[in-house]
Amino acid sequence: MRARTASLALVTIAILTGACQKPRMTTTDENKAFIRVMLGSKKQLTDYPDRFDRTITMHEPQMLPFGGDYQGIEAFQKFYPAVRKYYDFSTWELLGVYGDGDTVFATTRVTIANTARTMYIAEQFTFSGRILVDVRVHVCDALQKN
């Protein structure tokens, strides 16, 4: 009887301990949360040096003044000031963040600086574990309102 009572007590403690623990976030969920915070707070990649590979590749649409492929953080630091001038970041709005496996997509809406034009942006972030290794930007102009 004592052995049975002790066994039941141990099983009960094990069940309660497991039920009280928070489930651990998956790497995909961690990466989605990182992108949500980075874009939602309008920060830039270099504000998070522990989250990207220094040889990161970035692909910007050719239709943009700073369009092209860039390799490494030094290249990012050279073209990114043009990004900050092109968009009116006071209008930047994060619409959603979606992830599957090592890929996270974020959709945003922003006004082009000194215009009434709105641009929708989908950014594709590719991770290796928790480290960002590739960013591909897709854009779509919205029609101007009269």
The CATH number for 112's domain is: 3.10.450.50
Q: What is the pLDDT of residue 146?
A: 46
For residue 87, what pLDDT band results from cuts at 50, 70 and 90? very high
Whether 131 is in a domain gets the answer yes
Rounded Cα distance, 111 and 91, in Å: 6
Residue scoring higher pLDDT (19 or 95)? 95
Count of structural domains, the chain: 1
For residue 41, what pLDDT band results from cuts at 50, 70 and 90? confident
Whether 8 is in a domain gets the answer no
Assess whether pLDDT exceeds 50 at residue 97: yes
- Considering the chain, what percentage of its residues have pLDDT values greater than 90? 73
Gap between the terminal Cα atoms of the chain: 83
Q: What is the pLDDT of residue 50?
A: 94
Q: What is the pLDDT of residue 44?
A: 85
Whether 16 is in a domain gets the answer no
Assess whether pLDDT exceeds 60 at residue 143: no
Assess whether pLDDT exceeds 80 at residue 109: yes
Q: Say if residues 135 and 51 touch (Cβ distance below 8 Å).
A: no
What range defines the domain where residue 35 resides? 26-141
Whether 20 is in a domain gets the answer no
